[in-house]
Amino acid sequence: MTQPVCRIGKPTRALACVLGLSLALPALCSGFDRSAAWPLCGRISEHPPAGWEAADGCPAARFGDPGFSDEPLSSTFGPRPLYSENNRYDFHRGLDIATPTGTPFFAVSAGEVRIAGPNPSYSDPLVQLRHVRPEQTECIPGGCYYSLYLHVDAWVVEAGEQVEKGQLLGYTGASGSGFEHLHFEVRSAPPSDPYSAWSRDAVHPLRLLPYAASPEAEVTFHSSGELTLVSSRYDLVAVDIEVLDGKHRPVAQAGDLADSRGYYVRPPFFDMERANFDYSHKDSQAYPWDSFGAGGVNECPFYAEHGGSYSPHVHLDAQDPADYRRGLFNGIGVRTLRYWPSDEGDYEIGLEFQQLTGNSACLELTATFTDGASAYAQQGDCIATEAQRLPLRLTATGRKVRLTWKPETPRKVRVYRNGIPLEAPVTGNYFIDRDVSAGGRYRYRVCPLGAHDRCSRSRVIHLDH
Ligand SMILES: [Zn+2]
């Protein structure tokens, strides 16, 4: 394995940046094996091998091979500023792959055609496929997911038809603005969602598509309070901040826990999939599907607060009136600095956490990508080296979280969950299990007794609601 590269920006204070692999995979998006084909089969139309016809489909040798991707992307999953295709600050639910009209596109996995052609819910013709997860045999709740191919010019399949992975579905077109591209989405709802057999909850499509990127990122803390993250990867899904006091103890944040509606208000994290879920689909256990209203007008849980300005296409609270490129998202300022990476490569996002509380001596940041790789950065008086830390990983079975550390490390530890010490110090032989009563997002940190300068990095885990 090659050594990850870590570049340091221009810190205003002491800054360290370390990269590594995180083993805490979100439970929200399980069930993909990344053996899919890319929708354009790795731009095969631009460089067709001899003897290959588009109608033949995508050659099987390209399935699951990250060498045959459709990069560079013109937009990835996440927030986008005003000058984007939709001409508003919005949350882009999929990938945009710029390609001339008439490019053949293919099924990323085997499945059933649910929509082919025009549909009242979409502005342009599309193809939507429903896929049964690898470990499932039918589309029971949690047993399937969807792929969606939008702005298509022509389609060669019809609803109800079964298609194989790599099968030709149709030919790409352009969106209303005339931009020639394919918009590709993946929808995957958690099993606990009673409507999870439906096409809901857009997740980062690079959870499904074969993707290989070095865990490379650059994080810079600015004196303005904003931090910027630049990466050549297209698959950032979350940025977490932890505030530590002068003794390296976590400081609990007001937004650590979901509110009574099940939503995180002014949280110390920006999770793109969580944000999209919160702002585009209500928690279906709290709100039945028909409460969304015609056309999804009541789709957002905060629609009453948005009033008439809310549109289901606007997934951030508001555009900053002073800066059209900046969104104000539930207490977090989001500036997509380079949403249109194209050949330039890097994806760049600026975040300002305006609601952090506590007299912070140290800020620790963890950025997480779709494959669990993470980038880490810190600012201030923080723990000096990674080698001094207690290594920690989290796994979950149902509502039971297991915290595991290496055997040679001290057994008597104090566990912090979302900045709050759980109880008296506990003794564990390499691991301890903790039951969690409610689903949600939890941040754990384990500290050897009396040695806060050797605490683990905090790890985040999602538990299904
Ligand atoms: Zn798009």
Cα(88) to ligand 1 centroid in Å equals 13
Element containing residue 275 per DSSP (H, E) = helix 272-280
The three-class DSSP label of residue 390 is: coil
Cα 416 from Cα 421, distance rounded (Å): 4
Question: How many angstroms does the Cα of residue 261 sit away from the middle of ligand 1?
Answer: 30
Measured between alpha carbons, how far is 375 from 17 in angstroms, rounded to an integer? 8
**Residue appearing with tokens 């040798």:** 61
Q: Cα-atom radius of gyration of the chain, to the nearest Å?
A: 22
What global pTM score does this model have?
A: 0.84
How many A from CA of 15 to the centre of ligand 1? 36
Give 320 Cα–ligand 1 centroid separation in angstroms.
22
d(CA 22, CA 386): 14
Per-residue pLDDT of the chain (465 residues; tens, 9 = 90+): 222 223 333 333 333 334 444 433 333 345 788 899 999 999 877 777 778 888 989 999 999 999 899 988 888 888 876 555 444 556 788 999 999 999 999 999 999 999 999 988 788 999 999 999 888 888 877 788 999 999 999 999 999 999 999 999 999 999 888 889 999 999 887 666 666 666 767 889 999 999 988 777 889 888 888 899 988 888 999 999 999 998 889 999 988 988 776 677 788 999 888 777 665 544 444 555 455 554 444 455 555 554 433 443 444 456 677 776 777 777 788 887 765 545 566 788 889 987 788 777 899 999 999 988 888 888 888 876 778 888 899 999 888 999 998 766 667 899 999 999 988 888 877 888 888 888 888 999 999 888 888 899 999 998 876
Rounded to the nearest whole angstrom, what is the distance from the C-alpha of residue 87 to the centroid of ligand 1? 12
Per-residue model confidence (pLDDT) at position 425? 81
For residue 119, the CA-to-ligand 1 centroid distance in Å is: 17
Beta bridge partners of 217: 6
Q: Are the CB atoms for 132 and 146 separated by under 8 Å?
A: no
Cα of 302 vs centre of ligand 1, distance in Å, is 24
Tell me, in angstroms, the distance from the centre of ligand 1 to residue 85's CA.
8
Query: How many Å lie between the centroid of ligand 1 and the Cα of residue 24?
Result: 29
Question: Residue 212 carries which side chain, given as an amino acid letter?
Answer: A
* Nearest to 439, CA basis, from 258, 282, 187, 255: 258
CA 386 to chain centre: 26
Ligand 1 centroid – CA 236 distance (Å): 17
Q: Which of 189, 187, 169 minimizes the C-alpha distance to 127?
A: 169
Q: Give 103 Cα–ligand 1 centroid separation in angstroms.
A: 16
What is the distance between the alpha carbons of residues 44 and 54, in angstroms, rounded to a whole number? 9
CA of 94 to the centre of ligand 1 (A): 6
CA of 400 to the centre of ligand 1 (A): 38
How far from 181 is each of 93, 95, 151, CA to CA, in Å?
15, 10, 7
3-state secondary structure of 165: coil
92's CB contacts (< 8 A; 6+ apart) are 75, 76, 77, 78, 79, 80, 84, 339
CB 245 within 8 A of CB 367: no
Domains along the chain with CATH numbers: 6-27+214-386 (no CATH), 31-207 (2.70.70.10)
| Secondary structure letter of residue 254 according to DSSP | G
Distance 92 CA to ligand 1 centre (A): 6
